[in-house]
Amino acid sequence: MQLVQTCAEVRAWLATERRAERRVGFVPTLGALHAGHLSLVGVCRQAADRVVLSVFVNPTQFGPGEDFSRYPRDLERDLRLAEDAGVDVVFAPTVEEMYPFGRAEVTVDPGPLATVFEGRLRPTHFRGVATVVTKLLALVAPDVAVFGSKDAQQVVVVRQVVRDLLLPVQLLVGPTVRESDGLAFSSRNVYLSIQERVAATVLHRALVQAGDGIRFGVRDPQVVESRLRAELATEPLGTVDYAAMVDAERLEPLLTIEGRVLLLVAVRFGATRLLDNLCLRVHGSDVQEELP
């Protein structure tokens, strides 16, 4: 496995791969790799001959007062995990390499899907994500790129960016990987105290219960949302930022539960925000779990 840190090195490596007509897959990350990222590498390896993984804590997607400076960074460990997972190249640029002119003057407007939920609470977040993802896709020019379904709104926003900007890449979505008690793997889980870590299982529990309600025939979105909130409220250490059920493509409210639907939750435990979701395809009485 190779570590490259400049755009020129990425381009040189890619030139060889392209001459050999190999399919290149890409997994963008903020680093602090965990089982969730490694499963995305697995998805990517199935779809491509070579896997590039980026490790870049992108400053433009963190708002003022957010955890940019304390975000966990351990490149040595990330390299070991990436190599074991079968990554061919890790691209770990500096901020100066990705933003050579300082703060980017040209950015990608992620559109209306980025103004709700996470986007309402973190107004600059998705512009930062859309911009860095577009830059990385332009640089790596992968055949496929893999994103994790834990950040469901990010998947929806990035999909729209790729569609609207006609970016020549196939997006794949990898399933959320969970600890044995249901908590979704996240690099931010390390911020939780022991009590908060126990309390955080409420996100998955609330989603599972809401999903069961739908399987048992509940079709009123307001009933599902209020049950979701009621379960989240059983955990006094958590403060709910949102708990909602929306149409999975447009993130808009539903009149009834039919088609592809997405349950989204964001809960704060102290200074740590955790996200989780459940995506379902509902056709009459048939309810299947899907990737967002």
* Cβ proximity to ligand PAF, 161 vs 282, nearer residue: 161
The residues that bridge with 278 in the sheet, in sequence order, are 263
Residue 78 binds ligand PAF, judged by CB under 6 A: no
Are 167 and 114 in contact, with CB atoms under 8 Å apart?
no
Instruction: Give the number of residues in contact with ligand PAF, rule: CB under 6 A.
Output: 10
* Cβ proximity to ligand PAF, 149 vs 267, nearer residue: 149
Residue 83 burial (10 A CB sphere; 0-12, 13-18, 19+): middle
Site string for ligand PAF, 104-133 (x = CB under 6 A): -------------------------x--xx
Residue 28 binds ligand PAF, judged by CB under 6 A: yes
Dist CA 232 CA 213 (whole Å): 15
Site string for ligand PAF, 137-176 (x = CB under 6 A): --------------x--x----------------------
Are 224 and 217 in contact, with CB atoms under 8 Å apart?
no
Please identify which residue in 4, 10, 29, 155 interacts with ligand PAF, judged by CB under 6 A: 29
Please identify which residue in 33, 38, 58, 162 interacts with ligand PAF, judged by CB under 6 A: 58
Min dist CB 280 to ligand PAF, Å, is 22
Dist CA 114 CA 104 (whole Å): 19
96 Rama sector, left if φ>0, alpha if ψ -120 to 50, beta otherwise: alpha
Are 203 and 232 in contact, with CB atoms under 8 Å apart?
yes
Pick the piece of the chain touching ligand PAF (CB under 6 A) from 26-34, 76-84, 110-118, 273-281: 26-34
CA dihedral 75, 107, 166, 25 (to 10 degrees): 0
Cα 198 to chain center, whole Å?
23
Query: Hey, is 182 helix, strand or coil?
Result: coil
- Whether 283 is a known active-site residue: answer no
Pick the piece of the chain touching ligand PAF (CB under 6 A) from 28-36, 96-104, 167-175, 282-290: 28-36
Residue 178 DSSP one-character state? B
Q: Which of 37, 125, 204, 283 is catalytic?
A: 37
* Cβ proximity to ligand PAF, 186 vs 282, nearer residue: 186
Query: Hey, is 93 helix, strand or coil?
Result: coil
Closest by alpha carbon to 281, among 248, 256, 254, 253?
A: 248
Min dist CB 27 to ligand PAF, Å, is 9
* Cβ proximity to ligand PAF, 59 vs 213, nearer residue: 59
- Active site positions, annotated: 37
Tell me which residues touch ligand PAF (CB under 6 A). 28-30, 58, 61, 129, 132-133, 151, 154
